[in-house]
């Protein structure tokens, strides 16, 4: 039964494109994690070498008063104030949004990843390393931190594509769009010619996007499409779909929380996802919790008597 649901879904070329594009993002994330992790450690060491006073022996003395919230951070101690200055010095977006709320400043002297999170988009507070991050978080870090020497236009092009994928309310992209995405993602990968694990993904993505992407169905013992295809099992495709939908719901969740989008628009987007899940029981079962979390936050925000919408949930609680 689940199998036929998947077959029906993939029969829609534009949905299949959407899942393929999402698969590329997962491959991209996979090849960036190790690299980014190593570079963040190197960046942290470099900062400490230049400013030894910020190292492990420095301690925040501000306690809870040195807690950032969303884009706001007013350090209440010398150490945090100096760290903030140092971070901004390397921030390519220092006059724009810096999501200080991602960070626990008291850990800056000892935890490189807490520093990295100041260069990332919102929603990273509970992440402790690159292996917990999605592609867009890693791309934003590469884009915003001047430690990464890269053509930033190529990074932002991929970030834009990722947003197209996640914000597509119908969960569909055209084949023309997909070809454009392939070009942009490969332009980006070409920036890392000396990183073997990133180079390896270049051809994987090429194969994936140019193949018919046949799904291997063992029960029927047949592979549709020709021999040059990339074959995935039904459960592999399901896993990709699930990851994508989870990211999409998380994105909606953050949009509701930060009240970035009109309630009606959220409602419309949610209706499309619900309708989609109504017809796809296999996916629906795996997303019940995410849907409930989103629904209850939305209800909470709709209440007219909530005194200060958007901040009544404690920071870091998700």
Contacts to Zn ion by CB under 5 A = 60, 62, 66, 77, 80
Q: How far is the CB of 78 from Zn ion (least distance, A)?
A: 8
Please name the residue that has the structure tokens 């020497």: 149
Q: Which is nearer to Zn ion, 78 or 288 (CB)?
A: 78
The alpha carbon of residue 194 and the mean position of all alpha carbons in its chain are separated, in whole angstroms, by 24
User: Cα separation of 170 and 141, whole Å?
Assistant: 29
Q: Which is nearer to Zn ion, 83 or 253 (CB)?
A: 83
Q: How far is the CB of 124 from Zn ion (least distance, A)?
A: 20
The alpha carbon of residue 275 and the mean position of all alpha carbons in its chain are separated, in whole angstroms, by 24
DSSP string, 291-304: HHHHHHHHHHHH-T
Residue 210 vs residues 182, 206, 232, 278, 285: alpha-carbon distances, Å: 9, 6, 15, 31, 32
Contact between 263 and 298 (Cβ < 8 Å)? yes
Q: Which is nearer to Zn ion, 74 or 156 (CB)?
A: 74
Q: Which is nearer to Zn ion, 18 or 73 (CB)?
A: 73
Q: How far is the CB of 156 from Zn ion (least distance, A)?
A: 33
User: Cα separation of 272 and 253, whole Å?
Assistant: 15
Q: How far is the CB of 72 from Zn ion (least distance, A)?
A: 14
Q: Which is nearer to Zn ion, 52 or 310 (CB)?
A: 52
Q: How far is the CB of 141 from Zn ion (least distance, A)?
A: 23
């Amino acid at each position: 039964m689940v199998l036929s649901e998947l077959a029906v879904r993939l029969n829609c070329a534009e949905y299949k494109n959407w899942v393929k594009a999402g698969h590329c993002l997962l491959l991209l994330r996979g090849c960036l994690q190790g690299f980014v992790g190593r570079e963040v450690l190197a960046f942290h060491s470099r900062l400490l070498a230049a400013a030894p006073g910020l190292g492990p022996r420095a301690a925040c003395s501000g306690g809870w008063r040195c807690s950032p919230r969303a884009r706001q951070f007013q350090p209440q101690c010398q150490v945090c104030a100096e760290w903030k200055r140092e971070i901004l010095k390397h921030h390519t977006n220092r006059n724009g949004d810096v999501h200080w709320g991602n960070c626990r400043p008291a850990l800056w002297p000892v935890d490189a990843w807490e520093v990295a999170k100041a260069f990332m988009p919102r929603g990273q507070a509970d992440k402790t390393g690159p292996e917990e991050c999605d592609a867009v978080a890693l791309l934003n870090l590469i884009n915003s931190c001047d430690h990464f020497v890269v053509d930033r236009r190529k990074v932002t092009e991929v970030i834009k594509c990722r947003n197209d994928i996640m914000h597509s309310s119908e969960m569909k992209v055209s084949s023309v769009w997909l070809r454009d995405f392939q070009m942009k993602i490969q332009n980006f990968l070409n920036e890392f010619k000396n990183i073997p694990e990133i180079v390896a993904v270049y051809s994987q993505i090429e194969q994936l996007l140019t193949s018919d992407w046949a799904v291997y169905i063992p029960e029927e013992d047949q592979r549709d499409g020709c021999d040059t295809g990339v074959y995935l099992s039904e459960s592999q495709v399901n896993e990709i779909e699930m990851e994508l939908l989870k990211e999409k719901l998380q994105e909606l969740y953050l949009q509701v929380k930060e009240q970035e989008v009109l309630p009606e628009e959220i409602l419309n987007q949610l209706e499309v996802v619900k309708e989609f899940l109504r017809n796809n029981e296999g996916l629906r079962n795996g997303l019940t919790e995410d849907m409930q979390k989103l629904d209850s936050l939305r209800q909470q925000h709709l209440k007219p008597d909530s005194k200060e919408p958007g901040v009544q949930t404690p920071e870091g609680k998700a």
